[in-house]
Amino acid sequence: MASRSVNKVILLGHLGKDAETKFTPSGVSRSNFTIATNRRWKDQQSGEWKEETDWHNCVLWRSENLANYLLKGKQVYVEGRLQSRSWEDKDGQKKYMTEVVCDDLILLGGRGDSPSGGGGEYSPDVVSRPRSAQPRPQSAPAPRQSEDFNQGITDDDVPF
């Protein structure tokens, strides 16, 4: 029997600071940013509501145009995987870091001052898609039927 494993992360939170984009020597862009997620619960002993914020380090490869969109306070949806790495600092001490490598990122809004001038309306913008995702063909709008074309279908005929 083949063993299975899953490394999947889904985050919905707010950006803690503006994204920072750097380039590798070969010219590949790497954008780093942090996402804050909150958790609320009611304390059983005191009855008070408590809140805890977790911070997640994220990296997105090959999306160099993010600096204009990934701004502090914006709400984002991220899908990706966890990756841990280690290195030695200048003092020779071993350092470790775990980060979310993003495969998919959707801008959801936040402060209401989107560069497209959306005015705070909800209109998600997909910034990055997984390589396996193919663009969906857009279907043509249905032709408008004249009012004299009535097939006798009423609201009662619709199953939902």
At 124-133, the pLDDT tens digits run 555 554 444 4
CA angle 24/27/29 to nearest 5° reads 70
> In the predicted model, is pLDDT for residue 99 greater than 70?
yes
Which of 28-32, 68-72, 148-152 bottoms out in mean pLDDT, i.e. has the lowest? 148-152
> In the predicted model, is pLDDT for residue 27 greater than 50?
yes
More confident residue, 6 or 117: 6
Q: Are 72 and 86 in contact (CB under 8 A)?
A: no
More confident residue, 103 or 143: 103
Task: Give dist(CA 149, CA 147) in Å, integer.
Answer: 5
Residue type, 49: W
Rounded (10°) CA dihedral 8, 80, 18, 27: 150
Specify the pTM. Answer: 0.65
Q: Are 75 and 37 in contact (CB under 8 A)?
A: no
Shortest CA distance to 71 belongs to which of 101, 116, 103?
A: 116
pLDDT score of 49:
94
pLDDT score of 68:
77
Q: Could you give the 3-state DSSP secondary structure of residue 9? A: strand
User: For residue 46, how far is the Cα from the chain centroid?
Assistant: 35
More confident residue, 66 or 33: 33
For residue 15, tell me if it sits in a domain.
Answer: yes
pLDDT score of 83:
96
For residue 152, tell me if it sits in a domain.
Answer: no
For residue 61, tell me if it sits in a domain.
Answer: yes
For residue 113, tell me if it sits in a domain.
Answer: yes
Domain span at residue 84 reads 9-39+49-131
Q: Could you give the 3-state DSSP secondary structure of residue 136? A: coil
For residue 139, tell me if it sits in a domain.
Answer: no
| Max intra-chain CA distance, the chain | 83
Task: Provide the mean pLDDT of the chain.
Answer: 78
For residue 28, tell me if it sits in a domain.
Answer: yes
Q: What is the CATH number of the domain that holds 18?
A: 2.40.50.140
Task: Give dist(CA 17, CA 93) in Å, integer.
Answer: 28
- Dig out the tokens for 94 from the structure: 């071993």
pLDDT score of 153:
55
For residue 146, tell me if it sits in a domain.
Answer: no
What letter would DSSP give residue 65? G
More confident residue, 122 or 100: 100
For residue 116, tell me if it sits in a domain.
Answer: yes
At 44-90, the pLDDT tens digits run 999 899 999 999 999 999 987 876 789 999 999 999 999 999 999 99
Q: How many independent structural domains does the chain possess? A: 1
